[in-house]
Structure 1
């Protein structure tokens, strides 16, 4: 049986890109861990958090695992359900807080 090519003759197939490793986005992974820990501490399921915040369970899961992309509005809604507050600080302040 002949293999069917989906690429036009004379053209190369598009490159597949690998998703960024989790370590490439340490802040997102760290935030996700905080959200997951808080959710478990409150005894809530991902589905219940999703329902209460008006987002999909996939969004909650992607946030907790540090994968995919979550809209800022969804992040704020999930934080509100979990009793968390998001705060933006300058890099200089972050360095002081870390010491």
Structure 2
């Protein structure tokens, strides 16, 4: 059985992978095939799931001293998705906004 840190890392990597695939498909095909709302829905779901894992890892890092470093590293890995998601969102908004 996987422990919490392993599941959290897998979830963070899966969120990054799926988000990158959706972003790439949106850039390649455009909104006709991959609606922006699909990416937004994924972003909300991924945020909630990753936030729960982040919160649990932070609590365990404070409570337990045995695996504290592992929990803190896992929190860092989960938090790495935030700037990437912001970059993807910025690019999509820049593409969709009217140019003056």
Same fold (TM over 0.5): no
**Which gives a bigger RCO, structure 1 or 2 (Cα 8 Å, sep 6+)?**
2
Which structure has the larger Rg over C-alpha atoms? 1
TM-score bracket, shorter-length normalisation: under 0.3
TM-score, normalised to structure 1's length? 0.27
Q: Tell me the TM-score normalized by structure 2.
A: 0.27
- Structure having the larger proportion of residues in helix: 2
